[in-house]
Amino acid sequence: MHQVREVLRFKHACGRSPGEAGTTVGVSAGNKVFVDFAGLTFNICLADGEGRPAQLFVAVLGASSCTFATLRWSQGLEDWIEPHACALAFFGGGPELVCRTI
């Protein structure tokens, strides 16, 4: 039941069901930004020649599809919050709603 409530809350906030292809229909400028880790892992070559996996964080403005992306070392709390702040600075402000795309 808890999962059903979360899906309904997501659908109400983001205008679609989790996993459903997103669209810009019904999204006005400054209304929503969609954020999540892309699921892709990139191998970053460090100065010592060793490889280290990095996660791709993406934030997209709903109306314009303006995109911010950055690589993070993990999907931990710090690596989740800091890119949000960077994305909002990149966009020049905050939207009415931040939607995590699942």
Q: What is the pLDDT along the chain (102 residues), one digit of tens a residue?
A: 434 444 445 445 555 554 555 544 555 666 788 999 998 788 999 899 899 999 999 999 887 888 999 999 999 999 999 999 999 999 888 887 888 875
69-91 burial, b for 16+ CB within 10 Å, e for fewer? ebebeeeeeebbeebbeebbeeb
Any residues with CB less than 8 A from the CB of 22 and at least 6 apart, and which? 14, 16, 34, 62, 101
Q: What is the pLDDT of residue 93?
A: 85
Residue 8 is predicted with a pLDDT of 44
- pTM beyond 0.85: no
Neighbours of 16 (CB within 10 A): 17
- Bridge partners of 37, per DSSP, are 57
**Would you state the pLDDT for residue 24?**
46
Scanning 1-102, the segments in alpha helix (DSSP H) are 2-14, 77-91
